[in-house]
Structure 1
């Protein structure tokens, strides 16, 4: 395990900014697990796209794996078996089982015994494993199995809090009609993106979109069709910019997109791509043909999101007046 590990501290749990869960409580739970089993190591391991990450490690000198260690997903370790089968696993002596012959935890680090249970997110997808490991052969009684199952239930109850909070946060910053961020969500994320751009010397551009004669669309075709137009705009913007760009609906028919630029001329290219996407969608959906005025501005080192919105809005209004 040690030879295949890389250190990385980026985990979902450690990035949780609101302390909905107590990592100290999780640490105490893992410590208690190792103590009750009289084992040299206990862990809460998170399954991520990068591999199996030790999120919490029992605080013992005998534990060789600190929190943050990641094992690549293809390595034959005990936790991988649990995630793949979604079943608990007890191996009392791995040396006599040939299926663990290439397990580095056994043949590089000297572990013999492993007991682990799967931990699931509320949606049913695997979070990872809760496990205890020993350097000697073990013979755990049924009550020990019941104990580790009970402790993992405590961990899963905390995960349900995280999931519920994430859902509430998403609802609070998302416009339900267009599917993009609402004004509040856009402002918060855009300010973060601007600060990051200042640190990394990245160039940003802002596009400000407004539907031409939107009131006439509602008056002539009904508000249901107007809602369909708003939904289409959200879809077109999402498909036309990078996933890392920030999109928002900041008014009835007003949308904005803060995009990262590789070069100054890219902002015009993004604008033309969005305009072309609207033309293409008009041919595929049964909606009245509508046009969108798009104002643009490039961010500079002194820009705030409110300043950018003001400049791009004025540019959009000027273009709208040219069409009148």
Structure 2
């Protein structure tokens, strides 16, 4: 059975555009290679156009032509400006013998053959799908060439739109995930996420025979700050303390807003002495911070699970027990004058 040139092109296009599992870049590169072969032209480009800026997104060229993706040109100095102006495909087999032989693209680059079409995404010009060569084409462009180019351009516009929608959906899901685990005011993790992460960190410490420390921080006289200066000032204090905690802890540490004016910090692979040193460093940083209108201090309760004790604890009870111990130490620090640190193991 005889298969027409149009059918051959359509079949090949269908095969390429069905290979979603190989990714958009692979598919576009295959289209560029197919079209270069079909048109007998050397250079194939998918471009993106922003105002008068023409950017090479993906391209196929001979080895002796270097055209890195991301290369930019002035749109008006490319033949693609003609395709954009025409709002559709344009084709020239021999530019020197045509009415556009004084076009900047020909004067600059001496491209003798060109065929290209605009690519539309959601009704707006995204860029162009175009092919060119420094040598004239030895045949006339046929209607099947124009049809194939338009099919490719149409698929590209649809696929780019789909990819954009997928990216937006992924971004939205990531934002929702962030919202679900972060405290909106301080941008630290919230209590729910802390409880989830604590279990994982405990398992990790137990597996590697490491100590783990927990710090509870409570802002001294926070109610009076709100009552005297307003809740906006109180929010500023919370945000500044969150920043101080972030700056003075390791990336491996877990910081969360535990509730109200309380914060909690988990220090993996940290023994008692290290936890006490860090806590005192944070306490001094808060006290010395250049607060507006008021002096802000904080009290701390610390609990360390020694690596030798880890085996005696079960994960179901460890978090509640650790928080309770750190809270007792925090209460002791508050009762004994505030603006100090107390370790549960040092309590009388």
Same-fold call, TM > 0.5?
yes
SS at match of 2:259: coil
Partner of 2:168: 160
Question: Aligned pairs, how many?
Answer: 217
Q: Deviations over 1:162-217 (max 9, x none)?
A: 11111122122222222212211222222232233333444321110112222222
Q: Structure 2-normalised TM-score?
A: 0.54
Q: Secondary structure at the match of 1:94?
A: coil
- Runs of 4+ residues deviating >4 angstroms: none
C-alpha contact 1:33 1:42 (8 A) present in aligned 2 = no
Task: Say which structure is richer in helix.
Answer: 2
Q: What is the root-mean-square deviation of aligned Cα atoms in Å?
A: 3.3
Give ranges in structure 2 of 5+ residues lacking alignment.
Answer: 1-11, 28-46, 49-53, 69-144, 339-348
Contact 1:174–1:181, Cα closer than 8 Å, also in 2: yes
Match runs of 1:114-193 below 5 Å: 141-193=149-201
Secondary structure of 1:310's aligned partner: helix
1:33 Cα deviation after fit: 7.7
Q: Note closer, same or farther for the CA distance 1:147–1:177 as it changes in structure 2 (3 Å cut).
A: same
Contact 2:205-2:269 at 8 Å conserved across structures: no
SS at match of 1:141: helix
TM-score where L is the length of structure 1: 0.57
CA distance in 2, matches of 1:182, 1:192: 16
Q: What is the distance in 2 between the residues matched to 1:173 and 1:254?
A: 17
Question: Residues 298 and 287 (structure 1 numbering): CA distance in 2 closer, same or farther, change over 3 Å?
Answer: farther
Question: Alignment partner of 1:256: what SS?
Answer: strand
Sort the Cα spacing of 1:38 and 1:306 in 2 relative to 1 into closer, same or farther, 3 A: closer
Q: 1:89 aligns with which of 28, 33, 58?
A: 58
| Distance apart, 1:154 and its partner CA | 1.6
Does structure 1 conserve the Cα–Cα contact (< 8 Å) formed by 2:216 and 2:300?
Answer: yes
Confirm whether residue 311 of structure 1 aligns to residue 325 of structure 2. yes
Q: Which moved more, 1:219-228 or 1:253-262?
A: 219-228
Aligned counterpart, 1:3: none
CA distance in 2, matches of 1:165, 1:43: 21
Question: In structure 2, what is the equivalent of residue 320 of structure 1?
Answer: 334
Local SS of the residue matching 1:175: coil
Once residues 164 and 195 of structure 1 are traced to their aligned partners in structure 2, the CA distance between those partners, rounded to angstroms, is 31
Shift of 1:274: 0.6
In 2, the alpha carbon distance for the partners of 1:165 and 1:217 equals: 37
**Partner of 1:13 in structure 2?**
none
Secondary structure of the 1:296 match is strand
Local SS of the residue matching 1:265 = helix
